[in-house]
Structure formats: structure tokens, C-alpha cells
Amino acid sequence: MSLGTLAAPTTIANEIANWLNTHPGPSNLSQLLTNIHEAAHVIYHRDLGDDPQVRGAHWRIIDGKREWVLGSVECLPAHIQMNAHPVLVAKTFLGPRYIEVLLRGKESQDECWFASRRDFGLYSDWYRIRQTLRADLPSDLKEEVQRAIRRDFNDPVFQRRLWKTALEYEARIKAQN
């Protein structure tokens, strides 16, 4: 796993390089990407007024199989999922993976989406239920979310927030051990 050409803007790219210099070891890039991924979940939850519980590495059932995951964030409460603006809710599911693709480059897209298939499954379930109950989802929701995530990712203030939240996530999971 690599960051390839590091498609990320300078702010977060510099933070990543500094972090990797102070955290040597072969598995640290995977943990760093997990920290950033889970931090994006936390940010988008907080944007909707929810401060989720986080977990470090643990076993989880994904597609009916027991798999080891490096981290997770609890799901957004159902009342928020069903009542908040659809783009904001969809960002909680899809945003972290779009951000990872933006960080790592388009050539890592398939790997990124495979690694987050649970997030996409949760998004698909939410989409189906919300559309059945409210019928208020735009037909181009995924594209709208992708544009919103790109705007977030290109904003230096968002990048600082993402980095700060990734460090917070790392501290929270270490405190659990």
C-alpha cells in the first residue's frame, strides 16, 4: 500500500510525511490511512450533531465473513439518517473512501472501494430505506456527494480539521487499550 504520487494538497501531504517520519514501521501507513478514514467519518457525524463512539482494531463480520479491521466508527443514529439533508448523511458513509482515493490517487480506487465495502453496503441500505420512506433523494446523489467531498478536501481548513481529528482518533483508540 502506498500513497503513490500523493495526490493530496500540500497541507495534509506535509502532515502525512511528518507523521510517517516519526512513526517508522511497515504497518504504520495502513494505520495512518485508517486514522484518516475514521476521522472523516467522525467529522461528517459531528457536522450532523453526532459525536460517535470509535474503536480500534477488532474482528467484524463483513459480507458474512469474520474480518480483522483496523478501526471503525459507530453508525449515525437512525433519526438523523432519516431526517438530515441527504448529501450530509451520504457524506458520513461515502466521504471517507472518496477522501482516501483523493489522497492515494485514482490508481488505488478499486482497492479503496473494496476495503470500504461495508460503508458502501450501509450507504446502500440507508438509500433504499430513506427512498422508500421519504422519496427525497436526488438521482445524482453519489455524484453530488463526490463533488462536496472534493470541495471539502481542497479546503485547507477542512484538511487541518481532518488531520487534527485523525490524531484525536489515534489518541482515543490508544486510550482504549
SS (H, E, C) 41-96: HHHHHHCCCCCCCEECCEEEEECCEEEEECCEECCCCHHHHHHCCHHHHHHHHHHH
Q: pTM (2 decimals)?
A: 0.87
Instruction: Tell me the pLDDT tens digit for each residue of 63-107.
Output: 788 877 778 899 999 999 999 999 999 999 999 999 999 988 888
CB contact at 8 A, 72 and 92: no
Phi first, then psi: give them for residue 135, nearest 5 degrees: 50, 45
Quote the pLDDT of residue 5. 44
Phi first, then psi: give them for residue 72, nearest 5 degrees: -160, 165
9 confidence band (pLDDT: 50, 70, 90): low
Contacts of 124 (CB under 8 A, 6+ apart): none
Quote the pLDDT of residue 155. 93
